[in-house]
Structure 1
Amino acid sequence: MVFLSVLLSSSLYAQTRGSLKGMVTDEQNKAIPGATIVLEPDHKVAIADKKGEFKLQQLYPGTYQLKITALGYTAYTSETEVKEGSNTLSQIRLQKAENGQDLEEVNINSAHKNPDNLIDMINTIMPSSVITRKMIEQMGSRRLDEVLKEQTGLAMVSDIGSGSRAIGLQMQGFDSGYTMIMIDGQPMVGRNSGNLDLSRITVSNIERIEIIKGASSCLYGSEALAGVVNIVTRKNITQSQGLAALRYGSFNMIDATLEGETPFAGKKGSAFVSANYYRTDGFNSNPYLQEGKTAPPFDSYSLQGRGRYNLNTISTLNFNGRFSTRKSVNTKDFGTGPNTDVLTEDEVNGSVSLNNNFRNGTQLKTQYYLTRFKNRQDFTDINTGNLLEGSNFIQYLHRGELQASHEFNRRFKLTGGTGAAYEYLNDVSYRGAKSMTNAFGYGQADWTLSNTVQLTGGARYDYHNKYGSKINPSAGLRYTPFKNIIFKAAVGTGFKTPNFQQLYMVFTNIQTGYTVLGSEEFAREINILQDAGQIQSIWPIASRIGGLKPERSVSYSTGFTITAIKSLKLDLNVFYNDIKNFINSEQVATKTSGQQIFSYINIAKAYLTGAEIGVNWAATPSLNINAGYQLLYAIDRGVIDSIKAEQGLYGLVYDTNLNAQRKSERSDYFGMSNRSRHMANIKFSYEHQTGFSGTFRVNYRSKYGFQEANRANNFLDNYDTFVSGHFLLNLSVQKTFYNKHLALQLTADNLFDYRDQLMPAQQGRAILGGLTYRFFKD
């Protein structure tokens, strides 16, 4: 940080900048407000005002590529030179596109040049969205899970095996294992109990979050059946600047961040460093728990650095490194007795890549990525002082990949890649070390047939050392019959192998006593428990455990986007995911102590279907309103077939009103657990030119099944335990001073203090205040 500070201070005052201004009009010299101006390679972006005028500031002298786009006009591209001081362009005239259609519209929220991935994750046929840095700052969120749970179609749920510290991301009804979480285009690891704990990731250095929903495994791999969340960190560095931020609030939360970035070597290179410290006393969602927290306290540190250097006009070398650590100590007195639970986590990852942009339009990227996640959890019995080892988990992922793309005549683009990965895992819960290897290759073609029709087609080949090979094709259509209406349709296939947890886990939660057994270990471990006299009953569904098969899916998606007027946008998407051999966690036995035993089985057939609606309305120049809604049905076809046949595993249900069993009816089956039928959100964002801004957000989730509460009948019925439907209200306000150098912010999460003991990760009301100071030259 000292070295970076020297670079910052010297660069701030030693280099003279320039600016670029101009005016965009049509062929009749009428202004084109809202035109998008992009300056490469620094990706400086501006929007033309009501007079068609724009200005880009803080530019280093040199030659740039200027690109201007506007809806209904052909794109304008040229080279321009920036000198010291003010530079004025002559009036730029855009020509009307054929048939009144735009050839290449650039969306300010999604336009980007990402050196980490040649795959365009946003301009895809699949439903996609971007959460910008500005949105994150306005929300006042501290951790990644807080940001994602407020997005349409996403939910944070506590799954079996996750313990009290981890919650998983659910997308369109898929569990967390079906969504690929990536940082700068590379997958995260650390699913030591089945979930990826997103609360361990700070949002302090995130530039944007890219979300793709639907069967994306064609390009991204087997973990992307539900979709992809790509976290993009700071990289578009055009000037020397720094940031210091501090927030403090409820539950003794402290969130402190230091950032610095600077170009060097005459803009040939750039460096970025970010450090974050976060702590919380944790919180308690269980009114019956007198000692301890359902979400334990923790302290965490994270450090990230990025570097870029232009070797020549064609080749760029990129470096990325990240380290984070977290420690948590929680003393509890429930379940199996008073104990102290100590958890430590460390994560290190790094990558190096060489990007080549050849003059003929071909792009080539070679990258190596290594990540390591380590977790250790121990319990100390307070009464006896005995130390009980809970977990000792370490996971490595080595991944090499080569990507290439080429655009032909701006109408046809090919993108492809190949690579291999080696994954190693060792945990006391897995009876020794385990490893998996896979190789892959993929290709995608994007073909613009006309100004109204665009086709996408591709396929991915995967080879797994345990489950063999599989080819997954996909196809999509984008149709723009009118200027303000876009139709999209896509179909994709998916292939997902069982993970380490589903195959080999042997885990007992010492705090609460439940046990999770992987399918490969179930037979041996259940016999050990029976011989020890710890089994009260084994349920009939246990006969289906063993030999887990890979899941295969076909996903369909269709919808449209309508821009009725310039300030109002409507998105509708309908999805249907048909899944075979769907892997689900099920309770399969009960211990003599009353605690549950869970394992994993293949559901022969299942489907997840529903619809999502999104509305974006710029009500005034200062007020913006966003609303979203998801309808979801998550159905096991085997349950439905058994109920209709009036026989089999699901033919009977225990009716608490009759205090007796009766034949099951279709209306008895609610669906898969942990999934709400309805989810909705609305956000009011206000931003005034005086520097005052604020957001008010309301999130709703209808009831969802938690677990069976009466006699076991192997499916979720209306007599079981549910988490109630609920609203969560969040508020944040911010004011900037001194030409946006200083910002003061106040946030209030969960205003009504809603808590439920079945939602251990839902914190009560949290009020935080903070200030941010940005260091840059005016």
Structure 2
Amino acid sequence: MTTQNAAKPYLFILFIFLTNAGFAKDIKGRLTGLVYDDANKLLSGITVALEPDRKRAITDAKGSFQMDQLYPGTYSLRISAIGFETYTQEVEVLSGHKNSITIRLVRKNESLKEVNVNGVHGNPDNFIDMTRTTMPSTVISRKEIEQMGSRRLDEVLKEQTGLAIVSDIGAGNRAVGLQMQGFDSGYTMIMIDGQPMVGRNSGNFDLSRVTVSDIERIEIIKGASSCLFGSEALAGVVNIVTRKNITQPQGLAAIRYGSFNMVDATLEGESPFAGKKGSVYLSGNYYRTDGFNSNPYLQEGKTAPPFDSYSFQSRGRYLLNEISSLSFNGRYANRHSVNEQSYGVSPTKDILDEHDLNASLSLNNNFRNGTKMRTQYYFTRYQTAQDITDLNTNIIIPGSRFKQFLHRIETQGSHRFFETLQLTTGVGAAFERLDNSYYRGKKDMSNYFAYGQADWNLSSSLSLSGGARYDYHDKYGSKINPSVGLRYQPVEQLILRAAIGTGFKTPNFQQLYMVFTNLQTGYTVFGAEEFWREIQLLKEAGQIMSVFPIANQIGSLRPERSVSYSTGFAYQPIASVKLDVNVFYNDMRNFISAEPVALKTNQQQIFSYLNVAKAYTAGTEIGMNWKATKVLSLSAGYQLLYAVDLGIVEAIKNGTGLYAQVYDGVNPPRRSRRSDYFGMANRSRHMANIRASYEHEPTGITGSFRVNYRSKYGFTEANSANLFLDPYDTYVPSYFLFNVAIQKTFYKKHLQLQLTADNLMDYRNQLMPAQQGRAIIVGLNWRFFKD
């Protein structure tokens, strides 16, 4: 009730912005620009539109255009040209000055699954163009999100080629994360508007806590990206870009209801003010679900807990003078869940409260010589409180109290030289503090960094991209991570590309400082920095039976390192068909592994962390898109993945330790062979998706039908433990998921009706606690805008 009351003034303010917009009188300005294609050729006869003033200009024989008599403020520039992707960019016009921009159009790609974008998005939150890094990148547009009918971020990402939503049952039923190119979820950086989000459960970032209601697009980089984004970007980056282009007062009211008593309600509005010198955007979202159960042995309760959540998003920009503007971003979300579970023996009640806050303030400067500078302060806090009650005895089992802060300040600069070289640089510092009941007091880390990225067009067909980042960590010293990429277009239909990038990941707080004993099962986990002190205390208390020889390797953990290699091509033999192929290899060193290192007198093990593993992931991603007719498009994606722990392979070859034998549960153990090793747990050898999309503009009907496939993957050991997945262990079987969504607009696109059906065949598996059963959802949207 308190949260609902708190939301009322917020929604009232939102209503005010929907119905009011100010105006101011200013000296008019001029906008000029050049338009290129992705082969660096100037384009003539291209129509450039500027909204909301509906100004139009056509490029001349030299690819240039000019617009005069423009009021100062922020505009949305749009180009829709035959054979090219639709281009949009936010531009600022300054009073009494000539404002110049450079536009690069991309040859049309009708991908509905993953759109490879090489153009500039004009994101004021980050001068680094996520889609022009050296590693393979894709963009999921807002249009695609709407066509999928998705509600939460995990629902969008699990249908993308090369991405998988995974569950870590050992870390609790809320530990759901994202796996990319075979990396565990702890190695993918999750960002919002170019800044990192915090709050992970055993390395997993629960994507279901993020609503998609105010997302403009999702940018994905696959492969080591620490050269630009720092630690945790060992596998790649997912950047959530929120709504930005505000040109006129408008708003949206949306409500969806469906299976599991799911309610998803959104109210948002945006408006320029002060003669478009300023703009503001506000949104509020309420989401609830009864959760669902995928485990037939669970007599009461849910494997995915019920919860209700409120989230609020705000953005504001104001033009201070002819070159400077001030921006503010803010996001707050909370989630409350209560889950009573019973397997028929010991029923429990699990209560969890989460609070997630992100806020930033930035000063942007666009100088007359074309140089851009941006200084930003960013703050994020993630806080949880969890209690578990034994319902037989009403005893409360001590739960986690988790609070994580991140303060980050950063300055970026960008400048284009001679129309062929774009240089982006940045410097900054970050301070992180964590307060957790599982750690001995508060822990903190500091990091200082500098980076640069250059995009150089060597010729009309050849371009080179490169970047490097220097990090100084207060506990791990300095690291330099470079990357380089090459793009070559020998003919118009074919683009060849190759890239090499390096990555690193520093040990997290859990691996360094955790002191935890599971009161239900009795096992204990010590962080590497705490191990010897804690083990000595247990020895003095007479609780240690033996310490294993491997414990001698426990000391100061080293950062994990990786080198990512990728190469591929994009081939478009005709305008309606495109083939995209990428081959990747990720070489990983100093992997941090949790190992049993001691045995207590109660026969329970003690675990700690050490650098022991060498591993690699390798595979191929293939995407094909076909514009079958004017209204029907088809796309398909496939990933082949090998994920191998080289330490296990070497141990099997040498016949050492537990790796030396395989036991089928019936016959005596035999010597293990390399062919017995399936690979790393939770990784499927094959993943595929197919999508058909229909869009008929005259009737306002759009829809999509999607099929997702995942082959079997290893879950856990099922017989005598030998520390690797062999043919006789437990696997999650192969499965298909079928999803469909349809939308219809009315009243000049003011009203939209939606019908979504996810998991049509109602596939469930007890080893997949985050996979819901069949869900039927209906929705109604009303958009407020001037016709």
- Does residue 723 of the first structure (1) align with residue 724 of the second (2)? no
Match of residue 672 from structure 2: 664
Pair 1:434–1:552, CA change in 2 (3 A): same
How many residues are aligned here? Answer: 732
Match of residue 7 from structure 1: 17
Contact 1:335–1:511 (CA under 8 A) maintained in structure 2: no
- Does residue 600 of the first structure (1) align with residue 609 of the second (2)? yes
Match of 1:412 among 409, 421, 424: 421
- Does residue 242 of the first structure (1) align with residue 251 of the second (2)? yes
| CA–CA separation in structure 2 for the residues paired with 1:174 and 1:193 | 14
Alpha-carbon distance, 1:583 to partner = 2.1
- Does residue 684 of the first structure (1) align with residue 692 of the second (2)? yes
- Does residue 142 of the first structure (1) align with residue 143 of the second (2)? no
Pair 1:472–1:424, CA change in 2 (3 A): same
Residue pairs, 1:185-200, within 5 angstroms: 185-200=194-209
Alpha-carbon distance, 1:360 to partner = 1.1
1:134 aligns to what SS in structure 2?
A: helix
1:667 aligns to what SS in structure 2?
A: helix
Alpha-carbon distance, 1:312 to partner = 2.1
Match of 2:496 among 480, 487, 491: 487
Pair 1:585–1:621, CA change in 2 (3 A): farther
Match of residue 30 from structure 2: none
Contact 2:83–2:107 (CA under 8 A) maintained in structure 1: no
1:231 aligns to what SS in structure 2?
A: strand
Pair 1:76–1:467, CA change in 2 (3 A): closer
Alpha-carbon distance, 1:646 to partner = 3.1
| CA–CA separation in structure 2 for the residues paired with 1:244 and 1:221 | 38
Q: Please tell me the residue identity of whatever aligns with 1:105.
A: V
Match of residue 719 from structure 2: 710
Contact 2:500–2:563 (CA under 8 A) maintained in structure 1: yes
Contact 1:589–1:598 (CA under 8 A) maintained in structure 2: yes
For normalisation by structure 1, the TM-score amounts to 0.87
Match of residue 298 from structure 1: 307
Q: Please tell me the residue identity of whatever aligns with 1:3.
A: I
Q: Please tell me the residue identity of whatever aligns with 1:608.
A: T
Match of residue 20 from structure 1: none
Q: Please tell me the residue identity of whatever aligns with 2:483.
A: S
Name whichever of 199-208 and 713-722 sits farther off: 713-722
1:135 aligns to what SS in structure 2?
A: helix
| CA–CA separation in structure 2 for the residues paired with 1:478 and 1:740 | 40
Residue pairs, 1:465-504, within 5 angstroms: 465-504=474-513
| CA–CA separation in structure 1 for the residues paired with 2:51 and 2:612 | 50
1:2 aligns to what SS in structure 2?
A: helix
Q: Please tell me the residue identity of whatever aligns with 1:236.
A: N
For normalisation by structure 2, the TM-score amounts to 0.86
- Does residue 326 of the first structure (1) align with residue 335 of the second (2)? yes
Alpha-carbon distance, 1:560 to partner = 0.6
Query: Deviation digits for residues 656-678 of structure 1, max 9, x if unmatched?
Result: 352x2221111011111111111
Residue pairs, 1:357-396, within 5 angstroms: 357-396=366-405
Contact 1:262–1:271 (CA under 8 A) maintained in structure 2: yes
Query: Deviation digits for residues 707-755 of structure 1, max 9, x if unmatched?
Result: 1111111111111111111111111111111111111111111111111
Match of residue 442 from structure 2: 433
Match of 1:631 among 640, 647, 659: 640
Contact 1:747–1:769 (CA under 8 A) maintained in structure 2: yes
1:224 aligns to what SS in structure 2?
A: coil
Q: Please tell me the residue identity of whatever aligns with 2:578.
A: K
Alpha-carbon distance, 1:594 to partner = 9.1
1:641 aligns to what SS in structure 2?
A: helix
| CA–CA separation in structure 1 for the residues paired with 2:77 and 2:243 | 22
Contact 2:681–2:714 (CA under 8 A) maintained in structure 1: yes
1:413 aligns to what SS in structure 2?
A: strand
| CA–CA separation in structure 2 for the residues paired with 1:562 and 1:721 | 41
1:650 aligns to what SS in structure 2?
A: helix
Pair 1:181–1:44, CA change in 2 (3 A): farther
Q: Please tell me the residue identity of whatever aligns with 1:618.
A: K
Match of residue 703 from structure 2: 694
Query: Deviation digits for residues 338-391 of structure 1, max 9, x if unmatched?
Result: 221110011112100011111211111100001111100011221222222210
Match of 1:259 among 265, 268, 285: 268
| CA–CA separation in structure 2 for the residues paired with 1:742 and 1:699 | 30
1:680 aligns to what SS in structure 2?
A: strand
Q: Please tell me the residue identity of whatever aligns with 2:215.
A: I
| CA–CA separation in structure 1 for the residues paired with 2:783 and 2:447 | 45
Q: Please tell me the residue identity of whatever aligns with 2:694.
A: Y
Q: Please tell me the residue identity of whatever aligns with 1:666.
A: R
Match of residue 273 from structure 1: 282
| CA–CA separation in structure 2 for the residues paired with 1:589 and 1:297 | 38
| CA–CA separation in structure 2 for the residues paired with 1:504 and 1:266 | 54
Name whichever of 123-132 and 275-284 sits farther off: 123-132
RMSD between aligned residues:
3.5
| CA–CA separation in structure 2 for the residues paired with 1:224 and 1:420 | 17
Pair 1:105–1:766, CA change in 2 (3 A): closer
Query: Deviation digits for residues 693-713 of structure 1, max 9, x if unmatched?
Result: 111111111111111111111
| CA–CA separation in structure 2 for the residues paired with 1:127 and 1:582 | 23
Match of residue 106 from structure 2: 105
Residue pairs, 1:508-527, within 5 angstroms: 508=517, 516-522=525-531
Pair 1:387–1:219, CA change in 2 (3 A): same
Contact 1:212–1:228 (CA under 8 A) maintained in structure 2: yes
Alpha-carbon distance, 1:10 to partner = 3.4
Pair 1:603–1:81, CA change in 2 (3 A): closer
Residue pairs, 1:42-121, within 5 angstroms: 105=106, 110=117, 111-121=120-130
Match of residue 287 from structure 1: 296
Runs of 5+ in structure 2 lacking a partner?
A: 1-10, 26-34, 37-41, 59-68, 94-102, 110-114
Pair 1:704–1:197, CA change in 2 (3 A): same
Match of 1:220 among 229, 248, 255: 229
Q: Please tell me the residue identity of whatever aligns with 1:169.
A: L
Match of residue 100 from structure 2: none
| CA–CA separation in structure 2 for the residues paired with 1:194 and 1:113 | 32
| CA–CA separation in structure 2 for the residues paired with 1:718 and 1:44 | 65
| CA–CA separation in structure 2 for the residues paired with 1:511 and 1:472 | 43
Query: Deviation digits for residues 100-152 of structure 1, max 9, x if unmatched?
Result: xx975376964421000000111333211111111111111111011111100
| CA–CA separation in structure 2 for the residues paired with 1:43 and 1:562 | 39
Q: Please tell me the residue identity of whatever aligns with 2:670.
A: R
2:650 aligns to what SS in structure 1?
A: helix
Alpha-carbon distance, 1:505 to partner = 2.4
| CA–CA separation in structure 2 for the residues paired with 1:395 and 1:674 | 28
Match of 1:673 among 672, 681, 694: 681
Alpha-carbon distance, 1:162 to partner = 3.5
Match of residue 238 from structure 2: 229
| CA–CA separation in structure 1 for the residues paired with 2:716 and 2:132 | 40
Name whichever of 361-370 and 517-526 sits farther off: 517-526
Contact 1:143–1:201 (CA under 8 A) maintained in structure 2: yes
Q: Please tell me the residue identity of whatever aligns with 1:9.
A: T
Percent of matched pairs sharing the same residue: 67
Alpha-carbon distance, 1:259 to partner = 0.4
Pair 1:472–1:643, CA change in 2 (3 A): same
| CA–CA separation in structure 2 for the residues paired with 1:154 and 1:281 | 27
Pair 1:706–1:76, CA change in 2 (3 A): closer
